[in-house]
A and B are shown apart, each in its own frame.
Chain A
Amino acid sequence: MLSRFIVALFILFAAPLRAEVAIQEVTSEQGIGAWLVEEHSIPFVALEIHFEGGSALDAPGKRGAINLMTALIEEGSGDMDAQTFQTARESLAASFSFRVYDDGMSVSARFLTENRDAAVALLRQALISPRFDQDAIDRVRGQVLTAIAAEEKNPNRIAGRAFYSAAFGDHPYGSSQNGTVESVNALTRDDMVAAHAATLVRSRAKVSAVGDISAAELSLIVDQLLGDLPAEGPDLPARVEFGLEAGVTVVGYDIPQSVVLFGHSGMTRDDPDFFAAYILNTILGGVGPRSVLMEELREKRGLTYGIYTYLVPRDHTEMVLGSFASSNDRVAEAVSLARSEWERIATDGVTQEQLDEAKTYLTGEYPLRFDGNADIAGIMVGMQVQGLPTDYVVNRNDYINAVTLDEINRVAAYLLKPDELHFTVVGRPVGLE
Chain B
Amino acid sequence: MFRTFALTLAAMAAVGPAVAQEVTTFDLDNGMDVVVIEDHRAPVVVHMLWYRAGSADEPPGQSGVAHFLEHLLFKATDTMAAGELSQVVAANGGSDNAFTSYDYTAYYQRVAADRLDLMMRMEADRMNNLRLTPEDIDTERRVILEERNQRTENDPNALAREQIRAALYMNHRYGVPIIGWKHEMEDLSQEDARDFYDLYYSPNNAILVVAGDVEPEAVLALAREHYGPIPAEPDLPERFRPKEPPQLAERRLTFVDPRVSQAYVTRSYLAPERDAGAQDEAAALVYLAELLGGSSFTSALGKALQFDTQTAVFSGAGYDPMSLDTSSFYVSVAPAAGVSLSEAEAAMDQVIADFIANPIDEAQMERVRTQLRASETYALDNVEGIANRYGAALTQGLTVEDVQAWPAILQAVTADQIKAVAARVLDRRQSVTAWVVATEAEAK
Contact = CB atoms under 8 A, between A and B. Distances in A.
B93 A42 contact: no
Interface stretch (B197-205, B259-267, B268-276): B259-267
Given A368-B94, A368-B111, A86 B382 contact: no
A270 interface: no
Nearest to A356: B91
Interface string A356-398: 0100111111111011111000000000000000000000000
Contacts of B377: 42-44, 112
Interface stretch (B56-64, B137-145, B390-398, B410-418): B137-145
A303 interface: yes
Interface in A324-366: 325-327, 357, 360-366
Given A19-B42, A42-B377, A142-B337, A361 B93 contact: yes
Given A18-B43, A139-B310, A305 B150 contact: yes
A302 B381 contact: no
Contacts of A236: none
Given A305-B147, A325-B154, A327-B149, A371 B90 contact: no
B83 A290 contact: yes
A255 interface: yes
Interface residues of B, number: 63
A305 B154 CA distance: 13
Interface stretch (B25-33, B120-128, B246-254, B366-374): B366-374
B17 interface: yes
Contacts of B373: 93
Interface stretch (A144-152, A192-200, A219-227, A401-409): A144-152
A79 to B, nearest CB: 17
A91 B307 contact: no
A257 B154 CA distance: 7
Interface stretch (B160-168, B224-232, B295-303, B426-434): B295-303
Nearest to A154: B261
B146 A326 contact: yes
B336 interface: yes
Interface stretch (A237-245, A261-269, A293-301): A293-301
Nearest to B374: A93
A112 B19 CA distance: 14
B90 A361 contact: yes
Interface string A8-45: 00000000111100000000000000000001011110
B153 interface: yes
> Looking at B43, B87, B145, B382, which has the most chain A CB atoms within 10 Å of its CB?
B43
B94 A364 contact: yes
Interface residues of A, number: 66
B261 A305 contact: no
Contact of A42 (B17, B145, B297, B314): B17
Contacts of A154: 261
B306 interface: yes
B210 interface: no
B112 A16 contact: yes
A325 B149 contact: yes
B378 interface: yes
A288 interface: yes
Contact of B143 (A17, A42, A305): A305
A255 B259 contact: yes
Given A43-B377, A255-B154, A325-B149, A83 B307 contact: yes
Given A83-B307, A146-B313, A19 B43 contact: yes
Contacts of A142: 310, 313, 336-337
A39 B90 contact: no
A252 interface: no
Interface string B303-344: 100110010011000000000000000000010110000000
Nearest to A294: B83
Contact of B139 (A17, A259, A299): A299
A110 interface: yes
A78 interface: no
B21 to A, nearest CB: 10
Interface in B356-384: 367, 370-371, 373-375, 377-378, 380-383
Given A299-B139, A368-B93, A91 B261 contact: no
A318 B400 CA distance: 50
B296 to A, nearest CB: 8
A5 B44 CA distance: 33
Contacts of A362: 93
A12 B378 CA distance: 25
Contacts of A287: 95
A372 B382 contact: yes
B261 A153 contact: yes
B41 interface: yes
B92 interface: yes
A155 B154 CA distance: 8
Contacts of B114: 16
A431 B138 CA distance: 24
Nearest to B112: A17
A203 interface: no
B236 to A, nearest CB: 32
Contacts of A143: 313-314
Contact of A302 (B44, B138, B261, B306): B138
A90 B361 CA distance: 15
A302 B140 contact: yes
B388 interface: no
A371 B94 CA distance: 13
A371 B42 contact: yes
B380 A42 contact: yes
A361 B92 CA distance: 6
Given A302-B143, A325-B149, A86 B261 contact: no
B112 A325 contact: no
B139 A301 contact: yes
Contacts of A259: 154
Nearest to B87: A289
A82 interface: yes
Given A90-B367, A142-B337, A372-B382, A112 B374 contact: yes
B261 A360 contact: no
A143 B258 CA distance: 20
> Looking at B90, B314, B336, which has the most chain A CB atoms within 10 Å of its CB?
B90
B86 interface: yes
Nearest to B91: A360
B297 A153 contact: no
Contacts of A255: 153-154, 259
Given A16-B112, A19-B43, A364-B112, A91 B370 contact: yes
B110 interface: yes
A148 B257 CA distance: 18
A146 B83 contact: no
10 contacts: A18-B43, A93-B375, A149-B262, A150-B261, A288-B95, A289-B86, A299-B83, A325-B154, A327-B146, A364-B112
Given A44-B374, A299-B82, 14 more contacts: A42-B381, A44-B377, A83-B307, A90-B295, A93-B375, A143-B314, A152-B261, A154-B261, A256-B154, A302-B139, A303-B146, A305-B144, A363-B93, A370-B42
Q: Identify the 4 closest CB pairs spanning chains A and B, nearest first.
A: A364-B93, A302-B142, A93-B374, A257-B149
Interface of A: 16-19, 39, 41-44, 46, 82-83, 86-87, 90-93, 110, 112, 139, 142-143, 145-146, 149-150, 152-155, 254-257, 259, 287-290, 298-305, 325-327, 357, 360-368, 370-374
